A = this chain, B = another copy of it.
Amino acid sequence: MHRSSAAAAALAASSLMCAQVQASPAVHVFSTAITEAEVLQMQKGWCDGLLAISAAYQNSGYDAAKAKAAAVIDGAYAFDYGPVAFKPTYATGPDTIRTTREGALAYFVGPDPTIPKFRDKKLGFATYRHWVKCEVEDYVVQLLGSTANAMGQIILTDSQGQTAAPEKTWTFLRQLDGSVRIVLHHSSAPFDAR
């Protein structure tokens, strides 16, 4: 740098600036990264939503359960934004993997032609049994920046005290507005070795 008097003046200005800068406010932090706590919060929210749908069905019937399911799906999944990858636990056949809000709604409260019927009742995962407890057991959490993966189980207990323990993989994605959405959900029953 050429030390002209102009440059010397610039250095003086820099020095002044530094003094002022050192009095600057705290660093402003902007983060899109998803934390482990947010992953657990999303999973607990999913559990709470499932129990709420199941309770709505038991207490108020199908229409109430369907309305609750729509609210849960719209609040937790990213169907508004693109094809969510959703593989429900008990679905079979060519529609096992679904990408739409309608597919998720059918799964939670039915009627869903891909879900085996229980005594001819057209029900969904949240309604064919009265779920009263939902616990998350994560094995792996992967914080990948604006997305996070979790793999583990949820342990469901119904009003008869019977349990189911589907194995689950989830991908969560942060929106710039701060909310977090489910973009992938693969749920499978424990392998049956019969």
Contacts and interface: CB of A to CB of B under 8 A. Distances in A.
A85 B169 contact: yes
Contacts of A28: 82-83, 99, 139-141
A143 B29 contact: yes
A96 interface: yes
B155 A21 contact: yes
Nearest to A5: B194
Quick one: copies of this chain in the complex? 4
Contacts of A142: 29-31, 82-83, 85, 171, 183-184
Which of A23, A153, A190 gathers the greatest number of chain B CB atoms within 10 Å?
A: A190
B144 A92 contact: no
Contacts of A93: 17, 20
A111 interface: no
What are the 3 closest A-B residue pairs judged by CB atoms, nearest first? A145-B145, A188-B188, A28-B83
6 contacts: A11-B162, A17-B190, A20-B93, A144-B144, A149-B183, A149-B184
Given A163-B15, A165-B21, A97 B173 contact: no
A164 B12 CA distance: 9
Contacts of A188: 87, 167, 186, 188-189, 191
Interface in A129-182: 137-147, 149, 151-153, 155, 162-165, 167, 169, 171, 173-178, 181
Contacts of A4: 194
A36 B149 CA distance: 19
